[in-house]
Amino acid sequence: MTHIRTENLGGATAWILHRPHPSVQGLIRQLGVIGLEAREAWPELSAEAIAADFIFYDADMGHDEQFPWSPGQSPMPMIALIGSEAPGRLRWAMEMGAHAQLLKPMSDKGVYAALLVARSNFDRAKASEALITDLQNRLSARQTIVRAVMIFVMQGKTEAEAYDLLRQTAMTWRVTIETAAERLVANHTNERGTDDGRRIDLA
């Protein structure tokens, strides 16, 4: 179960990427009540916004070029300010990586909830990305080990002998089995039998 952080948001910084509008001032006041420092930007975010804790952005008139990162790759939680329910506008808001939303006209209602939901969804997405990357790395390492074992098998070793030889090679080189497998595969691909000047005895 994902832990939702609900501690005080005081001291956080939120940038509001929205054209000047009276309702924006209401959002700024409410953020101040919650304890956040609010800053405005239009028509694009400044470089210092990269350090923000939250970004509120206009889903009605926004476009990709307003952000200093690729769609869906924000380094902080994003909250879409939605007035139009046109499918194209909603699709763009989601593609930019909305972690929560506030409906226009904005008021002092729902701001705190949107902040918590956005941060929770952002944390969950980052955790999922980290897990996927770890699983991909593990899978790649296993595939490399299989390829290294097959190099020895092609030299006449049984699979058990080949894996034992790979393990011994890793111990000799004082590296992990994964690293030894990477070196062996690279050497085999380049049709070389040495690694850092050391010849591998396949006999």
What confidence tens digit (pLDDT) does each residue in 53-82 have?
999 999 999 999 999 999 999 999 999 999
Q: What does the block give as tokens for 142?
A: 């296993």
Q: Is the peptide bond before 68 cis (omega within 30 degrees of 0)?
A: no
Q: Does domain 13-109 have CATH number 3.40.50.2300?
A: yes
pLDDT at site 188: 83
Report field, pTM of the whole predicted structure over 0.95 = no
In the chain, which stretches have pLDDT less than 50? 1-4, 193-203
Give the span between the Cα atoms of 168 and 180, in whole angstroms: 10
pLDDT confidence of residue 1: 42
**Mapping DSSP to helix (H, G, I), strand (E, B) and coil, where does residue 157 land?**
coil
Range(s) within the chain of domains with CATH label 1.10.10.10: 132-199
Identify the pLDDT of residue 202: 43
Which two tokens mark 154? 């092609």
Order of strands, edge to edge, in the sheet holding 13-17?
37-41, 13-17, 54-58, 78-82, 100-103
Report the CATH fold assignment for 132-199. Answer: Arc Repressor Mutant, subunit A (1.10.10)
DSSP H/E element including 173: helix 159-173
Confidence at residue 79, expressed as pLDDT on a 0 to 100 scale: 97
Residues of the chain with CATH 3.40.50.2300: 13-109
